[in-house]
């Protein structure tokens, strides 16, 4: 049942020489756990945490929620890199990321492959592909699972601060439900510094996990359960980088609920940070499918930081004869002027004309024969 079973399971996801259309497989997503640094100021720390917890999760990522959403440090308004690294190491965040991937049962120490199957790129038409599994790459398929899934696992920690002009006690008043206080502010700013960490993963870690820790019945293999509990030092979260954005709002009249207002400005600022991190770090960039080819459209827009001078490569996903998945660039496209969708959080509250667009429209720079389901990825 052990290693061989999962080699066969993963091999069933792949067929040699197959072009993967959108109707067959969802586009690749990174997996992300999002946290915030909670201010220790007892006057409003709980309220800020409450707003953060109610924010919708970014739809272009898999939610790799580990349960803990908020942490606090004594120092505020400074670089939190050191504190975060200490926290991540002491709480074994990297090991928890791995345990989440394999649905570890805390009571028995058992694992299963259900989340791998659910998020796997090659989970469509599984039954039809079973006959082809013997022609594929055997043990090397485990490497694909690491490259395509575990190696794209991230932690995003947001340090959020609010500032205003006018009333020094505005936040307490607004969180108490007095909207008049927020209307009297001359200016409001939310600043978010986002720290991005990446789960380090490779083929050696994959093979070590299956050989020494993986068990579907921890009661029968207690030595593997114990070994995994002691394996925290084997896994590591590395700092990718951090970015800071500030959003200033001067119009408050359309949002009558202070909590909703705080959620809107905070979510937009975090989205801006995610877009900047994607520009800076290629492995973190999202891929989005073409929705149509006449005209070319994709569901990306202002939230992802798209501008009129943005450029996107069009990618066709190919599974080679050896079972390895690759992306082949088949062309370049750019947004059509005036046809970039405004998809920012709660943009409908502002009556933006661009928010009415179904999707962003593109024009061809190079290439041809683009099909719905091909993936686009911004290039810089």
CB 350, CB 254: distance < 8 Å: yes
Say whether pLDDT at 47 is over 60. Answer: yes
| Rounded Cα gap, residues 129 and 122, in angstroms | 10
pLDDT tens profile 204-257: 898 899 889 999 999 999 999 999 999 999 999 999 999 999 988 765 545 567
pLDDT tens profile 312-371: 999 987 776 666 667 899 999 999 999 999 988 888 756 666 667 889 999 999 999 999
Say whether pLDDT at 23 is over 60. Answer: no
CB 317, CB 20: distance < 8 Å: yes
**Residue 248, phi then psi, degrees to nearest 5:** -110, 130
Encoded tokens for 24 = 């067959």
Q: Which residues, in sequence order, are CB contacts of 81 under 8 Å at separation 6+?
A: 195, 239, 242
Say whether pLDDT at 60 is over 50. Answer: yes
Give the chain's end-to-end CA distance (angstroms, integer): 46
pLDDT tens profile 114-150: 888 777 754 333 333 333 343 444 344 444 555 568 9
| Rounded Cα gap, residues 219 and 301, in angstroms | 50
Pairing mode of beta strands 70-71, 31-37: parallel
Q: What is the pLDDT of residue 55?
A: 93
Q: What is the pLDDT of residue 91?
A: 96
Length of the chain equals: 380
Looking up tokens 């953060």 gives 52
Q: Three-state SS for 351?
A: coil
CB 160, CB 191: distance < 8 Å: yes
Q: Three-state SS for 363?
A: strand
pTM as predicted: 0.81
């Amino acid at each position: 049942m052990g290693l061989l079973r999962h080699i066969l399971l993963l091999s069933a996801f792949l067929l040699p020489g197959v072009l993967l259309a959108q109707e067959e497989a969802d586009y690749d997503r990174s997996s992300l756990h999002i946290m915030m640094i909670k201010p220790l100021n007892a006057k409003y720390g709980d309220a800020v945490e409450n707003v953060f917890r109610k924010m919708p999760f970014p739809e272009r990522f898999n939610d790799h929620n580990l349960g803990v959403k908020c942490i606090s440090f004594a120092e505020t308004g400074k670089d939190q890199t050191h504190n975060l690294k200490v926290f991540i190491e002491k709480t074994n965040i990297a090991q928890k990321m791995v345990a989440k991937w394999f649905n570890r049962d805390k009571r028995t120490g058992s694992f299963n492959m259900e989340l791998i199957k659910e998020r796997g790129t090659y989970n469509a038409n599984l039954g039809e592909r079973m006959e082809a599994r013997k022609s594929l790459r055997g043990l090397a398929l485990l490497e694909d699972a690491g490259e395509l899934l575990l190696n794209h696992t991230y932690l995003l920690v947001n340090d959020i601060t609010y500032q205003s002009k006018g009333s020094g006690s505005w936040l307490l008043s607004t969180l108490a439900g007095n909207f008049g206080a927020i209307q009297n502010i001359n200016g409001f700013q939310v600043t978010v510094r986002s720290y991005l960490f990446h789960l380090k993963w490779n083929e050696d870690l994959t093979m070590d996990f299956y050989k020494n820790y993986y068990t579907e019945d921890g009661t029968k293999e207690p030595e593997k359960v114990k070994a995994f509990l002691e394996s925290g030092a084997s896994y590591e979260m590395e700092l990718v980088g951090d970015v800071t954005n500030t959003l200033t709002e001067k119009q408050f009249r359309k949002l009558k609920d202070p909590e909703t207002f705080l959620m809107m400005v905070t979510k937009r600022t975090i989205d801006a940070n995610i877009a900047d991190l994607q520009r800076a770090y290629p492995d973190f960039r999202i891929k989005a499918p073409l929705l149509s080819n006449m005209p070319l459209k994709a569901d990306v827009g202002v939230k992802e930081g798209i501008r009129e001078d943005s450029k996107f490569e069009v990618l066709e996903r190919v599974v080679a004869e050896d079972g390895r998945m690759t992306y082949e660039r088949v062309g370049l496209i750019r947004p059509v002027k005036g046809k970039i969708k405004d998809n920012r959080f709660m943009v409908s509250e502002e009556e933006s004309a661009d928010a009415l667009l179904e999707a962003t429209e593109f024009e061809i720079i190079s290439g041809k024969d683009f099909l719905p389901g091909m993936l686009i990825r911004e290039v810089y």
